[in-house]
Amino acid sequence: MEEKERERINGLIKRIALGDEDALTELYNAVGGRMLSVALSVTGDRASAEDVLQDAFLAIVKNARKFRYYQNGYGWACTIVRNTALNYIKARNRRRCDNIDDLCFLASDSSVEEDATTGVTVREAIARLDKKQRAAIYYKYYEDLTVRQIAAKIGTSKSQADRIVKEAEANLRKIIDSGG
C-alpha cells in the first residue's frame, strides 16, 4: 500500500472518530472489498463474511477514537475484521449441536425405526476410520472448519485434507451400507 493511500485511510478513520458519516462510506469504498476478503478467508462463506464485515464496520466506528494517526489504518481495520470473524466463528461453533447423529445423512435412506440406531452405527463407523480420517470428520462436522483449516489442524496440504475428508466420507458410507 502506498503512503498516500495509507494517509488517506488514516484520515478517514480520524474523520469517523469525529462522527463524519461520509468518511465511513469512503472507507468502505476504499477498502471494503479487501476487508471482505479477510473476513471470507476466516469464515469460509460469503454470507458469513458479509455479516462479519458489517459488524466490523460497527466496531471501527465504536473504536475509531482509540486509533492513533501514526498507526497503519488499513492494518488496524483488517485486524478488527479478522478478530470479528474469529469471534463470529467461535460463537457459531458454540451454537452448533455436538451430536453425532448429525452425521446420519451419510447412511442410506432409512425408515423411522432404523433412525434410532443410526447414531450408534455412525459412531461405530467413525471408530473404524484411521486417525486422520476421524480427525477430518470431526473438524468438518463438529467444528465446521473449512478444508484449509482442517489441513492446518491435521498438518497437511489443503488438497490432501480435501482428499482425506472425501475418503473418510466414502469409507463411512461403505461401512454403514454394509451394516458394519
* Interatomic CA distance for residues 87 and 79, integer angstroms: 12
Domains by residue range for the chain, with CATH: 3-95 (1.10.1740.10), 100-177 (1.10.10.10)
The DSSP output letter for 129 is S
Q: Which residues 6+ apart lie within 8 Å of 29 measured at CB?
A: none
CA 171 to chain centre: 26
Task: Find cell 471470507 and name the residue.
Answer: 40
d(CA 23, CA 26): 5
The whole-angstrom distance between residue 108's C-alpha and the CA centroid of its chain comes to: 29
pLDDT recorded at residue 97: 47
Burial of 60 (0-12, 13-18, 19+ CB in 10 A): buried
- pLDDT per residue, tens digit, the chain (180 aa), is 788 998 999 999 999 999 999 999 999 999 999 999 999 988 888 999 999 999 999 999 999 999 987 889 999 999 999 999 998 888 877 655 445 555 554 454 544 445 445 566 777 788 888 899 888 888 888 778 888 899 998 899 999 999 999 998 888 888 877 765
* pTM for the full predicted model: 0.53
